[in-house]
Amino acid sequence: MALKRKTLYTALYILMLAAMVWALMPIVWMVLSSVKTQVNMFSMPPKFFFTPTFITYREMFGEGGNFGEFLSNSVIVSLATTVLSVVLGLMGGFALARGNFKRENNISSWIISTRMAPIPAVILPLYLMFAKAGLIGTTVGLIFAYTTFNLPFALWMMATFFKDVPVDLEEAAMIDGCSKFEAFRRIAVPTAAPGIVATAILCLMFSWNDFAFASVFSGRGTQTVPVAASLLISQHGIQWGQAMATGTIIIMPMVICGLAVRKYLVRGLSMGAVK
Amino acid sequence: MPQWTRTIDRASAAAAAVRPHKRAKWNRTEFWMLLPSMIVLALISIFPFFFMIYASLMDYSLSLDEPVFAGLDNWRRILTSETFWHSWGRTAVFGVSGLVLQLAVGVLVALLMYYIPKGRNLILTLWMLPLFVAPVVAGLLWKYLLDPTYGLYDWVLKQFGLNTQILGDVSTAMPAIILMDIWEWTPLITLIVLAGLQSVPTEPLEAAEVDGASGLQKIRYILLPMVRRMIVVSLLIRSMDILRYVDTITITTEGGPADSTKTIGYYLMQVAFRFQDMGTAAALGLTMLVVTIIMGNFFVKIMKKGED
């Protein structure tokens, strides 16, 4: 019996190892390729051991490279939409969690459908509206566009977090003379703080990773990093070295953010359905 | 009925008895707190929705000065066009095979991790890393891996004597796109299902052990039924996401070769921004929205069921 168990566990770990290779090999290969010279990059058979060089990164950020601009565009847009969505979502989510109103199910379905709406179907009317309003190619337009998925997400998540905050505390504060809004600000918000931070980080991740909206709505000077990545593909071929370096730059902060909110990841990715 | 199935009934009855949240009365404060969100949400979702219905009834080209009323022309055109049905068909192939495979692998990995005695946390952390990769980067990366001249995976396939033009071949492009989706999103299913497995109470499992149930029986009759809701939730989210994103296809195949990877979302982008036919694109978008709304409603029903 003990022997059988041991074989089972060995098989289990071998399977897990295979799964890890499958999941991680592309990422490892991307990071490795980003620190290769052209020669090493295109040598066959593929090279796993070589002297790393940061020449690709230096080209991208150095003179003549405008990568810094893409980076700052990405940061500005992601932060702005996150702040906007979380502030509105905080108040709205609290109201959704505490209020008792008719058609609550309809409002919930509306919010979730907005969050999950196919991006092409959202881009189209926004494009026509933005064209009329002169918002194409502007940072403001892109911030609004990202809010189409971040606000419903923040609303929904904050509602599930506030539902976890016991209402008794707020009621006690209100008996002591606090207004409902004060009870929200002084009691509910601090109690739900970890959830608020997690929601904000997830909003950041969604907007940082977006490509479809940015490719349609951003113009010269407002393009984000994922758009920069796509620009490396041209009719004359693909600059693989820079593409892999750009990819590495895009995913590194997301891995850090994602692991930082690991505890809330399941909740965020399942839209609060699984806690 | 064996003892341990009865224990499950008891456990779920106990879970159902947990008191739902007590709610303060709905009043003015909540109304004013919700209002700004609702206004913004209306601006970015309801208004565009009606605008799309309007656009779908117009001959609306970006090169025209003013859209002209066209009645149901756009609708007639898409419903009788082969490309429309073809791209919904490709979407179905992409969605169904992608979902079935990632569900199978995702649940299997979740079960394996559930039984791992040591190092589960580390393994799960590594396993979920693809989730953080932006879809556009995933596309670029896989395009590189599969590149017929420089690709690592392509080189591996060549060692087995396979002649490779994976993304350029009608028979392999769609499977490759599906594989990319599986690579990136299977961890999401694992994550959700594993969270479910870990919350299964030990009591019925112990009772089953006493009754002499085998390991597979425990999985079949206790673990899987108790995570059914998680499985449905992750499937719903994934199916909405498959409709949602076109990034990977845009970067890798642009719908080709010979339209074999042209999903409905990519088709819409093409009609709108390459052919500049906004009216037809709007009609396409509405068909996608209807599907999403139906799934969204279903999702909310399941959520509510979990709360009661």
CB–CB contact A163 B21 (8 Å)? yes
Tell me if chain A has a CB within 8 Å of the CB of B191. yes
Model confidence at B4, pLDDT cuts 50, 70, 90, reads very low
SS3 label, residue B159: helix
Of the two residues B1 and A94, the one the predictor is more confident about is A94
CA A114 – CA B135 distance, rounded (Å): 20
For residue B286, give the chain A residue with the closest CA: A121
Residue A237 forms contact with B (CB below 8 Å)? no
Output phi, psi for A2, to 5 deg: -65, -40
The interface predicted TM-score of the complex, written ipTM, equals: 0.90
3-state DSSP assignment of residue B60: coil
Q: Which residue of A has its CA nearest to B37?
A: A88
Compute the nearest-CA separation of A59 from chain B (Å). Answer: 20
Q: How confident is the model at residue B8 (pLDDT cuts 50, 70, 90)?
A: very low
Cis amide linkage into residue A45, ω under 30° from 0: yes
A49 touches chain B (CB under 8 A): no
Task: Summarize the confidence of residues A49-73 as an average pLDDT.
Answer: 84
pLDDT score recorded for residue A81: 96
Pairwise CA distance, residues B31 & A101, whole Å: 10
Query: What's the average model confidence in pLDDT over B238-262?
Result: 90
A246 contacts A56 by C-beta, under 8 angstroms: no
- Residue B306: predicted pLDDT: 65
Q: What angle do CA B241, B239, A207 make, to 5 degrees?
A: 10
In total, the C-beta contacts within 8 angstroms joining chain A to chain B are 305
Assign A40 to helix, strand or coil: helix
In the predicted model, is pLDDT for residue B7 greater than 70?
no
- Min Cα–Cα distance to chain A from B84, Å: 15
pLDDT band at B12 (very low <50, low <70, confident <90, very high): very low
Whether B216 shows a pLDDT value over 70: the answer reads yes
Where on the phi/psi map is residue B27: left (φ > 0), alpha (ψ -120 to 50), or beta? beta
Minimum CA–CA partner of B182 in chain A: A23
The nearest CA of chain A is from the CA of B212 a distance in Å of 15
CA distance A194 to chain B (A): 19
Question: How far is B153 from chain A, CA to nearest CA, in Å?
Answer: 9
Confidence grade of residue A171 (pLDDT, cut at 50, 70, 90): confident
Would you tell me which residues 245-264 of chain A have a C-beta closer than 8 angstroms to some C-beta of chain B?
246-247, 250-251, 254-255, 257-259, 262
Mutate: best of A34, A170, A211, A275, partner B, most B CBs <10 A: A211
B222: contact with A, CB 8 A cutoff: no
A27 and B130 within 8 Å at the Cβ level: the answer is yes
- Token code pair at residue A71: 């980076």
- Structural domains of chain A sorted by starting position, each given as residue range(s) with its CATH number in brackets: 2-53 (no CATH), 67-269 (1.10.3720.10)
Confidence of residue B11 (pLDDT cuts 50, 70, 90): very low
Statement: residue B173 has pLDDT above 90: yes
What pLDDT, on a 0 to 100 scale, did the predictor assign at position A99?
80
SS3 label, residue B59 = strand
> In which region does residue B133 sit, left (phi positive, over 0), alpha (psi from -120 to 50) or beta (all else)?
beta
Verify whether the Cβ–Cβ distance B23 to A98 is below 8 Å: yes
Instruction: For residue range A128-168, list pLDDT tens digits in order.
Output: 888 888 999 999 999 999 999 999 999 999 999 998 888 88
CB contact under 8 A, A96 and B191: no
**pLDDT at res. B83:** 92
Model confidence over B104-156: pLDDT tens digits?
A: 999 999 999 998 888 889 999 999 999 999 999 999 999 999 988 888 998 99
Distance to chain B for A13, nearest Cα, Å: 8
Judge contact between A244 and A175, C-beta under 8 A.
Answer: no
- A75 in contact with chain B, both atoms CB, cutoff 8 A: no
Quote the pLDDT of residue B6.
47
Q: Where are the domains of chain B?
A: 73-307
Contact B74, B53 (CB under 8 A): no
Inform me whether the pLDDT recorded for B1 exceeds 90. Answer: no
Q: State residue B46's pLDDT score.
A: 86
> Which range (A106-110, A220-224, B90-94, B265-269) has the least confidence?
A106-110
Q: Please tell me which of the candidates A88, A97, A269 has its beta carbon nearest to residue B36.
A: A88
Mean pLDDT computed over B22-35: 69
Mutate to test the interface with B, among A14, A91, A113 (most CBs of B within 10 A): A113
Topology given in CATH for the domain delimited by B73-307: MetI-like fold (1.10.3720)
Most B CBs within 10 Å: which of A6, A43, A112, A215, as the mutation test of the B interface? A112
Pick A36 or A63 by higher pLDDT: A36
Q: How far is A42 from chain B (nearest CA, A)?
A: 6
- Say if B84 is an interface residue toward chain A (CB within 8 Å): no
